[in-house]
C-alpha cells in the first residue's frame, strides 16, 4: 500500500484527503462542488480511481458526479431518479398519508465486483441501481412495494435509505436500512425484500416490538462474516448473528447507547466502534467529551478511546455515514464531525489526531487504501 485516500462529504462540498503510508502526512484537496451538500462520496472496490459523489442543494436538486481519476476531475452523470409505477404514499410526521417524493441521494454503494454497477439509497426511501456507471438509474421497487411501505414514517432527518450492505458471497443478498422503517433483506438481488428487525425494541413507536418502524441509524458488516451484523439504532447498539433474522442488544457499559455510526475493525470482525451521543434531543457527546468506544469482544464490554480527542467543551455530532476504517496494518479509523473536524487513528483507535479542523459540517467519511 502506498497510502490512503479519505473521501469527505460536507454541507458545502467534497474534500479528498490523501495520506502517505504512515497516515501522518496529509494533502487536502477541495472543495469539489463548493456550496453544494455532498451527502456521500465512495470509491469502487474494483478500481479505487472510480469514485461516485452525491451532490445536491435544496435549490437545484440532485446530481451524481463520477470521477475516473481518483477525484481529480469529475463528470456529472445521471440525475433522474424516477420511482417505478405509481409511487403511492407513506406516512408523514403527523401520521397522514404523504406522496412519495424524491429529495436526494443519501448513500452510494458501488458493486463489489462490477465497475459500472452502483446502488443509491435515496430520500424518500427507495433503492436505485445503475449498471452503466451512474448514467441511468432504475428503482428496485420490491423494497417499497413489499407491503409495509405505506406505513413508513420519516425520522427527524427525512425518510432516508441510508445504508446498503452488499454480501461479499454474492450480491443476491443485500441489506438496506431506512429511518424510520428498519432493516430489510433481499436474497434475490433486490426483487423481493423482507423486514429483518426481530429483536429490536423502540419505545418511541406505538408497538415497541413492531416488525417495521424502527429508527435504525446505521448497520455494519465485516466481509469475512457476512451473517454477523452490527447496528446503531436511535437508542441501543445491537447485533445479529443470523443475517438479520434476530437481533440482541450489546450496549453493555456504554455511557449512552444513542448514536449514529458504527464500524467494524478491518482485520478483527469482533472489534467494533461507536460514538456515543448523549440523547436524541441533545445530539452531542456526553459530558462534552468526544469519545469513540471500542469493543474487542463483539459488544457488551466497551472501552473509551480518548487520546487525541477533545475531552472538554466538545459539542459536535458524528453522523451516521461519517466513520470508516481502512485496510492497512494496523487498521486505521476515521471520522468526521458536524464541527468540521476529520480525525484519524493509525492504531485502531488507540490514539487520534485531526487531519483537518475547519471544514464545513461533515456528512460522510469513506476511506480507500491506495495500491
Partner 1 sequence: MVLPAHLRTLAGVHGEVQLTVKGSVTLRALLDALEEQYPVLRGTIRDQVSLRRRPFVRFFACEEDLSHEPPDTPLPDAVVSGAQPLVVLGAMAGG
Segment lying near partner 1 (by CB under 8 A), choices 16-24, 43-51, 58-66, 330-338: 58-66
Q: How far is the CB of 55 from partner 1 (least distance, A)?
A: 9
Smaller CB separation from partner 1, 58 or 371: 58
Asked if 76 interacts with partner 1 (CB under 8 A), we say yes
d(CA 11, CA 362): 7
Q: Are 211 and 197 in contact (CB under 8 A)?
A: yes
d(CA 40, CA 61): 15
Asked if 80 interacts with partner 1 (CB under 8 A), we say yes
Q: Which of 22, 59, 207, 312 binds partner 1 (CB under 8 A)?
A: 59
Smaller CB separation from partner 1, 62 or 317: 62
Strands 237-240 and 353-356: unpaired
Asked if 79 interacts with partner 1 (CB under 8 A), we say yes
SS3 109: strand
State the binding string over 216-255 for partner 1 (x if CB under 8 A, else -): ----------------------------------------
Asked if 86 interacts with partner 1 (CB under 8 A), we say no
Asked if 62 interacts with partner 1 (CB under 8 A), we say yes
Q: How many residues bind partner 1 (CB under 8 A)?
A: 13
Burial of 157: CB neighbours in 10 Å, binned 0-12, 13-18, 19+: middle
Residues 6+ apart with CB under 8 A from 233: 200, 202, 214, 215, 216, 217
Q: How far is the CB of 96 from partner 1 (least distance, A)?
A: 20
Asked if 206 interacts with partner 1 (CB under 8 A), we say no
Residue whose entry in the numeric block shows the C-alpha cell 481518483: 70
d(CA 158, CA 179): 8
Asked if 89 interacts with partner 1 (CB under 8 A), we say no
Q: How far is the CB of 89 from partner 1 (least distance, A)?
A: 17
d(CA 218, CA 260): 6
278-290 exposure pattern, b = at least 16 Cβ within 10 A, e = fewer: beeeebbbbeebb
Residues that bind partner 1 (CB under 8 A): 35-36, 57-63, 76, 79-80, 82
Amino acid at each position: 500500500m502506498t497510502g490512503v485516500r479519505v473521501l469527505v462529504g460536507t454541507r458545502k462540498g467534497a474534500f479528498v484527503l490523501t495520506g502517505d503510508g504512515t497516515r501522518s502526512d496529509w494533502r487536502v484537496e477541495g472543495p469539489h462542488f463548493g456550496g453544494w451538500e455532498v451527502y456521500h462520496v465512495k470509491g469502487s472496490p474494483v478500481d479505487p480511481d472510480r469514485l461516485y459523489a452525491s451532490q445536491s442543494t435544496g435549490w437545484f436538486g440532485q446530481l451524481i458526479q463520477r470521477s475516473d481519476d481518483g477525484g481529480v476531475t469529475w463528470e456529472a452523470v445521471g440525475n433522474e431518479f424516477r420511482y417505478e409505477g405509481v409511487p403511492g404514499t407513506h406516512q408523514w410526521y403527523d401520521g397522514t398519508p404523504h406522496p412519495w417524493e424524491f429529495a436526494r441521494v443519501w448513500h452510494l454503494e458501488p458493486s463489489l465486483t462490477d465497475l459500472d454497477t452502483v446502488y443509491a439509497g435515496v430520500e424518500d426511501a427507495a433503492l436505485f441501481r445503475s449498471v452503466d456507471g451512474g448514467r441511468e438509474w432504475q428503482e428496485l421497487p420490491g423494497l417499497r412495494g413489499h407491503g409495509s411501505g405505506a406505513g413508513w414514517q420519516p425520522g427527524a432527518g427525512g425518510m432516508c435509505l441510508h445504508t446498503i450492505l452488499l454480501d461479499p458471497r454474492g450480491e443476491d443478498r443485500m441489506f438496506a436500512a431506512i429511518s424510520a422503517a428498519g432493516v430489510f433483506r433481499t436474497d434475490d438481488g433486490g426483487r423481493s425484500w423482507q423486514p429483518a428487525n426481530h429483536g429490536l425494541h423502540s419505545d418511541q413507536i406505538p408497538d415497541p416490538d413492531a416488525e417495521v418502524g424502527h429508527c435504525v441509524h446505521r448497520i455494519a458488516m465485516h466481509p469475512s462474516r457476512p451473517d454477523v451484523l452490527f447496528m446503531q439504532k436511535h437508542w441501543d447498539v445491537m447485533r445479529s448473528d443470523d443475517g438479520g433474522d434476530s437481533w440482541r442488544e450489546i450496549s453493555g457499559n456504554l455511557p449512552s447507547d444513542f448514536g449514529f455510526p458504527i464500524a467494524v475493525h478491518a482485520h478483527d470482525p469482533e472489534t467494533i466502534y461507536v460514538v456515543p451521543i448523549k440523547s436524541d434531543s441533545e445530539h452531542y457527546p456526553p459530558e462534552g467529551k468526544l469519545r469513540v468506544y471500542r469493543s474487542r469482544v463483539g459488544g457488551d464490554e466497551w472501552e473509551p478511546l480518548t487520546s487525541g480527542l477533545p475531552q472538554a467543551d466538545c459539542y459536535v455530532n458524528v453522523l451516521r455515514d461519517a466513520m470508516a476504517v481502512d485496510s492497512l496494518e494496523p487498521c486505521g479509523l476515521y471520522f468526521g464531525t458536524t464541527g468540521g473536524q476529520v480525525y484519524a487513528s493509525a492504531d485502531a483507535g488507540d490514539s487520534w489526531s485531526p487531519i483537518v479542523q475547519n471544514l464545513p459540517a461533515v456528512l460522510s467519511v469513506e476511506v480507500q487504501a491506495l495500491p
